[in-house]
Amino acid sequence: MSVPPTSLRPHASTSGNGSPPIGVLAGWGRLPLDVIKSLRNRGYQVAGIGVRDHADPHLAELCDHFEWIGVASLGRATRLFQRWGVTQATMVGKIHKVLFLKPRWWLRHWPDWTSIKAFAPSMLTGSKDGKDDTLLGIVVDTFAAGGIVFQPATDFAPELLVKPGQVAGRPLTARQQKDVEFGWQPAKQMGGLDVGQTVCVKNQMVIAIEAIEGTDLCIQRAGQLCKQPGFTVVKVAKPQQDMRFDVPTVGVKTLESISAAGGKVLAIEAERTILLEADQFRNTANRLKLSVVALSRPA
């Protein structure tokens, strides 16, 4: 990805509503754009930090302050937020953890000393695990030590959380409902282990379980394994879900992945899943003849 020049605009030290700017640490995907737009609609100034090779370059155009960092530049990110007067921030967008399995990844994302100290137990000595919650917890604790408190993105944009009910498409058949009920439990169990949050099911058989590869590749693998059309995708929050990070998120791309792989149903957890571009999402689901339901738990 080509990284545009830094955007740093003249500004007041507080937002239009009298509050300090809200910090946004942005990873991959559409979600950072939607959260920043919601913040601006509420009258806040936004101080954005984009993770290189992940965040959308257009973020710079929406933020009052913006800088790019490597994925392991926590010290620099903390100092930037402090310089901009940020005391509250949110973390949005995915970080592709497979990056850390690539040779010499650190040459492009050079770790600073703060990151080396913070992540050494997980990445160097092995005294801590490398689960998502462990690594992301280290991130928010490091910022907190610098006076920056992270909050859930949905505190700033509550409208992004999906409501219970039929989101799009036709109601589920009895057989599809059974697949949702069957897939819900292993999806919750895998979430509890902090492995993944998505399970693909057909005829009450698990076809694929999400791990480090992410939802879209999990769905793709299910399509490769299941040549019968019409499998079901179940995506849920972790039982211990920390709403400050790694909240399940679905959008148009999720639907396109399901359709391309031969799936027919997407079941998500109501009030604990972020739905991006809701109108476009529903239109796309109807066009692709997919059924989408949001449940607090299966019946």
- Strands in 46-51's sheet, in edge-to-edge order, are 65-69, 46-51, 22-26, 88-92, 149-150
90 pLDDT exceeds 80?
Answer: yes
Paired sense of beta strands 65-69 and 205-209, if any: unpaired
Q: Which helix (H) or strand (E) holds 25?
A: strand 22-26
Query: CB neighbours of 9 closer than 8 A, spacing ≥ 6?
Result: 64, 65
Quickly count: other Cβ atoms within 10 Å of residue 177's Cβ: 18
Average pLDDT over residues 162-187: 97
Domain co-membership, 42 together with 144: yes
Convert the pLDDT of each residue in 194-242 to its tens digit: 999 999 999 999 999 999 899 999 999 999 999 888 999 999 999 999 9
pLDDT score of 128 more than 90? no
Strand partners, 199: 209, 234
Mean pLDDT to the nearest integer, 111-127: 79
15 pLDDT higher than 60: no
The CA-based angle 134-140-145, given to 5 degrees, is 120
Nearest of 235, 217, 223, 284 to residue 256 by alpha carbon:
284
pLDDT, residue 117, reads 86
Both tokens assigned to 282: 């529903």
Whether 195 and 109 share a structural domain: no
Q: Would you say residue 11 lies in a domain?
A: no
127-131, 136-140, 226-230: least confident range: 127-131
Any domain includes 12: no
Domain boundary (124, 156, 188) is at: 156
Q: How many domains does one find in the chain?
A: 2
Residue 206 has φ and ψ, to the nearest 5°, of: -75, 125
Tokens of 29: 């995907």
Kindly tell me if the per-residue pLDDT of 137 is higher than 60.
yes
At 96, the pLDDT band (50, 70, 90 cuts) reads: confident
* Token pair recorded at residue 109: 């994302």
Residue of higher predicted confidence among 85 and 110: 85
Q: Using CA atoms, how far apart are residues 24 and 56, in angstroms rounded to an integer? A: 13
Q: Model confidence over 232-277: pLDDT tens digits? A: 999 999 999 999 988 999 999 999 999 999 999 999 999 999 999 9
- Same domain? For 146 and 53 the reply is yes
pLDDT the model gives residue 101: 60
d(CA 295, CA 64): 38
**Residue where a domain stops, chosen among 127, 156, 185:** 156
- The 3-state DSSP composition of the chain as helix, strand, coil percent (nearest 5) reads 40, 20, 40
Cα angle, residue 241 at apex, residues 237 and 247 outer, rounded to 5° = 60
Provide mean pLDDT across the span 18-45: 93
Last residue of a domain, one of 122, 140, 156: 156
pLDDT of 10: 33
Specify if 14 maps to a domain.
no
CATH number of the domain enclosing 276: 3.40.140.80
Q: Which domain holds residue 49?
A: 22-156
- Is the CB of residue 222 less than 8 Å from the CB of residue 207? yes
Q: Are residues 128 and 230 in the same domain?
A: no
Please tell me whether residues 74 and 171 are part of one structural domain: no
Give pTM, 2 decimals. Answer: 0.83
Whole-number pLDDT of residue 16? 53
Alpha-carbon span 116 to 118, nearest angstrom? 6
Do 70 and 83 lie in one domain? The reply is yes
- The pLDDT value given to residue 118: 82
Cα distance between residue 264 and residue 230, in whole Å: 5
Pairwise pLDDT comparison (244 vs 18), residue with the higher score: 244
pLDDT in tens, 32-75: 999 999 999 999 999 999 998 889 999 999 999 999 998 889 99
Q: Which residue has the tokens 């954005």?
A: 48
Mean pLDDT score of the chain: 89
Whichever domain contains 51, its CATH number is 3.40.50.20
The pLDDT score that the predictor gives to residue 181 is: 97
